[in-house]
């Protein structure tokens, strides 16, 4: 396509070079459609609410982005987040807030260590391993729940502030999310660990032959992923304000969708967290749009699925052209 | 003989494990007999059918995350259409549902082939779509199923110890998969599973073969959905835990994720092993949640063990 670049070819080239631009364009388009459908819905309040809802999804999608860069996936993030939230809420009245948070995060890390052991050392497929640990962990949570049913629930004030509070019209959760996102983006672009993720995803055999200890990277990666999920669970607890046994589980598959829409390849080696954040925003705006359109639940799910598919297909079609 | 044993060592191991487990069940519960086997087989039937569908797709190098949602669509369609229908009317309805399954699966396969989006992503998106379709057809569990379908999998047939559900499973699987496995089509499925590029260069129509694999998966999902309705008598719009269970059973059954190696007998045996473990734990009056932990741990441990063996095998 070097001699006469067509309009589509140019768009494709643009999407390869600057994958964020078309995604932001899509986001603006969705917001415009929303504004046309419901004039007057757009406001600072709406924007801050959308951000607030999108942040936990974007954080869980960080786990997917990082694991997908190596060609893996982590389907235990919803469970890890739920467990961290539930443990914090139920242990806080018993042992105080800081120990409860520590136990919660340690449990999430434990899930990650088991994932890491299976994937890095036994070389189980990440999809199977993380689904399996999610199943076991959910079982443990159900058993645990029966012992604490009478103790009551306490949601730490700091988490409430973080989850639901606003400062200057903006959600306080940004105070956690902006440093987090900056760290992840810096980590994947500039740090050695981030480059190793891309190297393993692009060609694992080549990475191994270049002296990368692939198993150590996988082990660290899945532990890190669960830790992020645990922190997200704490934030989500402050936002939802109830301790439920299926708190963050509905976010599992959308977190994968957010990373995929954001242009991260599920086969590894391509993508980044910037796109994922926009992907999470797109999904959140889309959900609120479908809710406002008063379509029955079934119809909403159908549209949600079709739009994810269409966006991904378009993205792949356009980037392959150039 | 030696070679046959070597080639099927994993499946034989599973069969021995199942026999040991059934023997253990008899020890735990001396009264365990025909009725116990019957309820075990009936509980395992939807899992087994989902597993067969998933195994076919995995053999062909894919994965179908939407299988449980397709089962829900088939289940509610059947229950809504058969509500108040006579036996004579219900036969074309069953055929229609099987066709519906084929079509749903073919849509999945076609989307994967045409859009070039990875199978995981397409079937993830279609999971939402099929869930939505099931909810639109029936908002809450309800409807009814023709009585003769319920009788089809209840009780035993011929000898006491052979539950009808097992026969149903064996017949359905043999009738659908048998001819395909022995024809060119089956070879094509294995070929695109082990190396799509090599298959393409050998003249295999890769796209067609992939669509066929997903269509078969949809067909078995429809059978699985019907069997859910057959054992409960109503339609279930909320997908059951069949996705995770079927993937686990496929892997336990010796089918390699990524495709090309394995068969259908191993996964079916794996389903019965997992169900028997669950039943034994219930008979031992273990808390069902603890049972879920034990079941999950067994699954993960076996998968790890299998993966270690596979890595060893490749190095040797």
CATH code of B30's domain: 1.10.3470
Residue bearing tokens 């829409």: A261
CATH assignment, A19-321: 1.10.3470
Widest distance between CA atoms in chain A? 73
Question: What is the pTM for the complete model shown?
Answer: 0.81
Dihedral pair phi/psi, residue A165, rounded to 5°: -70, 160
Inter-chain contact A142–B304, Cβ cutoff 8 Å?
Answer: no
- Quick: pLDDT tens for A37-54: 877 777 888 888 888 889
**B277 interfacial to chain A (CB closer than 8 Å):** no
Q: Which residues in chain B are closer than 8 Å to A146, comparing Cβ atoms?
A: 289
pLDDT at A114 over 60: yes
Q: Determine the Cα angle at B67 with ends B122 and A300, to 5°.
A: 60
Cα separation, A232 vs A239, in Å, equals 10
Please report the residues numbered 231 through 260 in chain B whose beta carbons come closer than 8 angstroms to any beta carbon of chain A. 244, 247-248, 251, 257-258
Please report the residues numbered 129 through 158 in chain B whose beta carbons come closer than 8 angstroms to any beta carbon of chain A. 129, 131-137, 139
What is the domain range of residue B301? 2-315
Alpha helices in chain B, H assignment, sequence order: 2-7, 9-28, 34-59, 67-82, 87-115, 119-137, 147-152, 164-182, 184-194, 196-201, 206-232, 242-252, 265-283, 288-315
DSSP, res A170: E
- Quick: pLDDT tens for B163-198: 888 888 888 888 888 888 888 888 888 888 888 888
**A282 interfacial to chain B (CB closer than 8 Å):** no
Cα separation, A306 vs B126, in Å, equals 7
- Tens place of pLDDT for every residue, chain B, 316 residues? 667 776 677 888 888 888 888 888 888 878 777 777 888 888 889 999 999 999 999 988 888 989 999 999 999 998 888 887 777 788 888 899 999 999 999 999 999 998 888 888 888 889 889 989 998 888 888 888 877 777 777 766 666 677 888 888 888 888 888 888 888 888 888 888 888 888 888 888 888 899 999 999 999 999 999 888 888 888 888 877 788 788 888 888 888 777 777 888 889 999 998 888 888 888 888 887 788 788 788 878 877 877 777 666 655 4
Give pLDDT, residue B202.
87
**A206 interfacial to chain B (CB closer than 8 Å):** no
- Quick: pLDDT tens for A253-271: 888 888 888 888 777 778 8
The number of domains in chain B is 1
Q: What is the ipTM of this complex?
A: 0.80
Widest distance between CA atoms in chain B? 62
Inter-chain contact B289–A139, Cβ cutoff 8 Å?
Answer: yes
Inter-chain contact B117–A309, Cβ cutoff 8 Å?
Answer: yes
Q: Which residues in chain A are closer than 8 Å to B295, comparing Cβ atoms?
A: 135, 139
């Amino acid at each position: 396509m070097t001699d006469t670049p067509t309009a589509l070819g140019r768009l494709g080239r643009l999407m390869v070079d600057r994958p964020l631009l078309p995604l932001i364009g899509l986001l603006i388009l969705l917001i415009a459609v929303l504004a046309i459908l419901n004039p007057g819905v757009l406001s600072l309040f709406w924007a801050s609410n959308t951000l607030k809802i999108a942040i936990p999804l974007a954080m869980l999608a960080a786990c997917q982005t990082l694991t997908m860069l190596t060609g893996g996936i982590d389907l235990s993030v919803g469970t890890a987040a739920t467990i961290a939230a539930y443990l914090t809420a139920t242990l806080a009245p018993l042992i105080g807030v800081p120990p409860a948070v520590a136990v919660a995060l340690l449990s999430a890390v434990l899930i990650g260590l088991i994932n890491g052991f299976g994937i890095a050392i036994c070389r189980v497929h990440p999809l199977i391993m993380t689904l399996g640990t999610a199943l076991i962990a959910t079982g443990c949570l159900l058993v645990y729940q029966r012992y604490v049913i009478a103790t009551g629930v306490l949601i730490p004030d700091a988490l409430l502030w973080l989850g639901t509070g606003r400062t200057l019209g903006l959600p306080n959760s940004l105070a956690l999310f902006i440093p987090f996102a900056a760290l992840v983006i810096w980590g994947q672009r500039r740090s050695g660990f981030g480059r190793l993720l891309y190297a393993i995803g692009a060609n694992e055999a080549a990475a191994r032959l270049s002296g990368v200890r692939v198993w150590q990277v996988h082990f660290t990666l899945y532990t890190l992923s669960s830790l992020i999920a645990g922190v997200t669970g704490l934030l989500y607890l402050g936002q939802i304000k109830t301790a439920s046994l299926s708190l963050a589980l509905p976010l599992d598959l959308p977190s994968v969708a957010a990373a995929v829409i954001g242009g991260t390849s599920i086969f590894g080696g391509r993508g980044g967290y910037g796109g994922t954040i926009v992907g999470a925003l797109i999904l959140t705006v889309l959900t609120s749009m479908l809710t406002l359109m008063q379509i029955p639940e079934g119809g909403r799910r159908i549209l949600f699925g079709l739009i994810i598919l269409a966006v991904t297909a378009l993205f792949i079609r356009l980037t392959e052209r150039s | 003989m030696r070679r046959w044993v070597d080639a099927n060592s994993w499946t034989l191991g599973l069969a021995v494990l199942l026999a040991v487990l059934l023997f253990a069940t008899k020890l735990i519960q001396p009264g365990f007999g025909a009725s116990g086997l019957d309820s075990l087989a009936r509980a395992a039937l939807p899992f087994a059918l989902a597993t067969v569908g998933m195994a076919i797709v995995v053999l062909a190098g894919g994965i179908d995350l939407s299988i449980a949602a397709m089962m829900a669509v088939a289940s509610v369609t059947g229950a809504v259409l058969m509500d108040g229908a006579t036996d004579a009317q219900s036969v074309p309805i069953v055929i229609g549902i099987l066709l519906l399954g084929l079509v749903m699966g073919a849509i999945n396969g076609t989307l994967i082939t045409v859009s070039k989006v990875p199978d995981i992503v397409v079937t993830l998106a279609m999971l939402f779509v099929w869930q939505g379709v099931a909810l639109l057809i029936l908002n809450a569990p309800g409807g009814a199923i023709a009585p003769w379908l319920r009788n089809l999998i209840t009780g035993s047939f011929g000898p006491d110890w052979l539950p009808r559900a097992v026969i149903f499973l064996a017949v359905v699987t043999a009738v659908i998969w048998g001819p395909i496995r022995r024809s060119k089509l089956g070879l094509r499925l294995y070929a695109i599973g082990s190396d799509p590029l090599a298959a393409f260069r050998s003249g295999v129509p890769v796209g067609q073969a992939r669509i066929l694999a997903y269509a078969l998966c949809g067909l078995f999902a429809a059978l699985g959905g019907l069997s859910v309705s057959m054992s409960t008598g109503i339609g279930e719009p909320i997908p059951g835990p069949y996705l995770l269970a079927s993937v686990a059973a496929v892997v336990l059954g010796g089918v390699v994720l990524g495709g090309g190696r394995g068969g259908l007998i191993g996964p079916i045996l794996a389903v019965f092993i997992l169900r028997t473990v669950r039943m034994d734990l219930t008979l031992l009056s273990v808390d069902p949640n603890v049972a879920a932990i034990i079941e999950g741990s067994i699954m993960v441990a076996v998968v790890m063990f299998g993966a270690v063996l596979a890595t060893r095998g490749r190095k040797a």
